[in-house]
Structure 1
Amino acid sequence: MSGFKTFALRDLPAVVLAVAILLVTLPAREVTAAETATPSTAVHFTFDRLIDASMAPFFLAAKDGGFGAEHLNVSFNSAAGSPEALARVAKGDSELALVDINELIRFRGNDNAAPVKAVFVLFNRAPYAIVARRSRGIHLLPDLDGRTVGVADGDLSMRLWPALAQQNSIDASRVKFHKISAAVREPILSAGQVDAVAGFSYLSAVNLRDRGVPGGDLVVLRYADYGCEAYGFAVVANPAFAAAQPDAVKGFVRALIAGIRATIKEPARAADEAVSRIEDGDSSLELERLKTVLVDNILTDEVRRNGLGGLDPARLERSIDQIAQDFKFRKRPAAADIFDDQFLPPVAGRLIN
């Protein structure tokens, strides 16, 4: 027989009976919209290359809950270069991506290109550079005259070399370019088989020091130091997604800005977060890489004046002209075809203190 005992209402004390009757007769309270959790928007985000510490702000935005606070469910993946990442965004396989803005410019210069635009500029200065050995007599860009430079297939820095050479009165025909695999770019320079290599300043230079090449024997010839006005990596958005979900794009940008600020404040933690996503990643190497990126590419004088994420349309127009020296546009894009600033917070929300 069951051990539970039932009671009739008449068996309850008067006070308890009154409370029970009150609870039964109270009308059900309507749940307000504010009390209902806002559903998350899924965002597939593509990096245009393998992960390194320069991407740390995105990972801190995820780690610290910045994306979640904006009701975004962000997943990351990587592509084999900016053209592939742009193709994913144009097709709608990714809502957002990090790409070289100069590749976006070339993409938009094609017939019937999807109207993909950048919504946030991460690298205010392009990382293009030629890394050389001082022991080979190279100290300045004109010293490349008669030298051999190793260049990997698809190296983005070479796309702007003709304009840079012309701007600095260098006879481009006297610089010998030796095609190499990206995998041997640093080993071939450290072994002395070439005089210099082309690439990104925060990748090649840092990797060479890690390989034991003395820092004092390395000279980093940054394009930006020789008149190249190109911007670097930027976040681009699928046009249909940006039109349908503008608040999601704005939220992503706000979270990314918070991630950049956290990276500036705690670079070691940021580098570690990136390393946790890199197979056999090296914390000290990635921290050095991140510090290089912050100084050379992100926290420029222009950014300190005008805030993160934006750009100067006149400067962008000049950089498009530089690209045109080695690229035939079917239809030259204007700055307004490349960048859309409507998703940026006001300047006060983008300044770096």
Structure 2
Amino acid sequence: MFHRTIAVTGALFAATIAGAQTTDMPFALDWKFEGPAAPYFAAIDRGFFEDEGLNVSIEAGSGSVDVIPKVATGAFPVGFGDINSLIKFLDQNPDAPVKAAMMIYDKPAFAIVGRKSQGVEAPKDLEGRVLGAPPPDGAWAQFPAFASANDLDVDSITVEPVGFPTREPMLAEGEVDAITGFSFSSVLNLKRLGVPEDDISNILMADHGLDLYGNAILINTDYAAENPELIEGFLRAVAMGWEDVRENPEAGIDSLMERNPAADAALETERLQMSMDQNVFTEWVKENGLGVIDPARMDSALAQLAETYEFQTEPDASLYFTDEYLPEGGFDVE
């Protein structure tokens, strides 16, 4: 639970804007309305955004590469996307007014998901086998650094380009031995296709040598400079939304289902829980706070990105991430 001081600060701030006209703030997600989006809908339904003077609307997305320009152009003042994609975007567009302002996925969901029955349980098992990977996939983009960290003989791995819709079905049918993807998406998609849970191996790259961070709240820096109190309030409400679904995931999924009634509530509850356990509320976050980053780890992450990406300018974390809209030390969790 967040410390009382943060809740009180938010309440006092909310009191100062009580009765004031709310500000519209469209928020661009990176993906569909699935379990990990529940905290943002919960923040709407519980009044966390409203208490900060914000009228937040949420738009589904089709990947981080799609979200970043939306925020950079100012079409959306805030978004949710992969910081590694942002780093590359800013290296190529150094004047673009967009930065990450709150880390959500302390561990990225990048994973190799395999079938134990097809011999894939650990990174080294990929050698001599077929790996299905959609070319635009974020996890596939990190595979070279993952392979380097695990000393894989990449020449012995047959990489099969696959589409996003066919990725899990091909693994379920045994046409490939493993796939790249987001852990909480691919694992649950396989279960939905009838693959037994005890036959699925979830090899999280962050647990096997990758220091990369994952998805973060992105801000348009021009908008933030002109409206710092609105950005601070937005981040506060986001933190409260995550804590709310952590304490009551079923209520969060109820909020999600109102926006996506065709979803499978049980499946999305499991997807949400996986994201919280593996990616958001990590041991590091519990000790150091939600939203902030470890500078030494970020330096290591930038070095790993440089293994497969040629930076045009010297990489510097301050170019991509700012903590100026967060409380000192981030949002405390227990």
TM > 0.5 fold call: yes
Letter in 1 for 2:318: A
Partners of 1:263 and 1:37 in 2: CA distance: 28
Give 1:176's aligned residue: 158
Give 1:269's aligned residue: 251
Local SS of the residue matching 2:151: coil
**What pairs up with 1:274-285 in 2 under 5 angstroms?**
274-285=256-267
Alignment match of 2:270 (pick from 288, 303, 307): 288
Local SS of the residue matching 2:142: helix
Moved more, 131-140 or 328-337: 328-337
8 Å CA contact 2:135–2:162 kept in 1: the answer is yes
Confirm whether residue 345 of structure 1 aligns to residue 294 of structure 2: no
Partners of 2:16 and 2:252 in 1: CA distance: 34
8 Å CA contact 2:71–2:220 kept in 1: the answer is yes
* Structure 1 residue 207 displacement after superposition: 1.2
Moved more, 140-149 or 41-50: 41-50
Give 1:11's aligned residue: none
8 Å CA contact 2:68–2:81 kept in 1: the answer is yes
Q: Indicate the RMSD between aligned Cα atoms, in angstroms.
A: 1.6
Letter in 2 for 1:228: L
Give 1:165's aligned residue: 147
Give 2:226's aligned residue: 244
Quote the sequence identity (%). 35
**CA offsets 1:125-146 (integer angstroms, 9 cap, x no match):** 0000011011111221001001
Partners of 1:307 and 1:219 in 2: CA distance: 30
Give 1:140's aligned residue: 122
Give 2:168's aligned residue: 186
User: Cα gap change, 1:223/1:288 in structure 2, threshold over 3 Å: closer, same or farther?
Assistant: same
Give 1:15's aligned residue: none
Give 2:90's aligned residue: 108
**What pairs up with 1:1-353 in 2 under 5 angstroms?**
37-347=19-329, 350-353=331-334
* Structure 1 residue 190 displacement after superposition: 0.6
Give 2:6's aligned residue: none
* Structure 1 residue 215 displacement after superposition: 0.8
Please list every run of 5 or more consecutive structure 2 residues that lacks an aligned counterpart in the other structure: 1-14
8 Å CA contact 2:133–2:179 kept in 1: the answer is yes
Partners of 2:231 and 2:201 in 1: CA distance: 39
Partners of 1:276 and 1:333 in 2: CA distance: 42
Local SS of the residue matching 1:276: helix
* Structure 1 residue 79 displacement after superposition: 2.9
* Structure 1 residue 36 displacement after superposition: 7.7
* Structure 1 residue 346 displacement after superposition: 3.4
Partners of 1:315 and 1:300 in 2: CA distance: 15
Local SS of the residue matching 1:289: helix
**CA offsets 1:187-231 (integer angstroms, 9 cap, x no match):** 111111110111000000011112210111111111011111111
**CA offsets 1:1-25 (integer angstroms, 9 cap, x no match):** xxxxxxxxxxxxxxxxxxxxxxxxx
* Structure 1 residue 154 displacement after superposition: 0.7
Partners of 1:175 and 1:140 in 2: CA distance: 14
8 Å CA contact 1:131–1:199 kept in 2: the answer is yes
TM-score by length of 1: 0.87
Number of aligned positions between the proteins: 320
8 Å CA contact 2:39–2:238 kept in 1: the answer is yes
8 Å CA contact 1:111–1:330 kept in 2: the answer is no
Partners of 1:170 and 1:264 in 2: CA distance: 37
* Structure 1 residue 277 displacement after superposition: 1.8
User: Cα gap change, 1:176/1:279 in structure 2, threshold over 3 Å: closer, same or farther?
Assistant: farther
Runs (4 or more) in structure 1 with deviation over 6 Å come to 33-36
Please list every run of 5 or more consecutive structure 1 residues that lacks an aligned counterpart in the other structure: 1-32
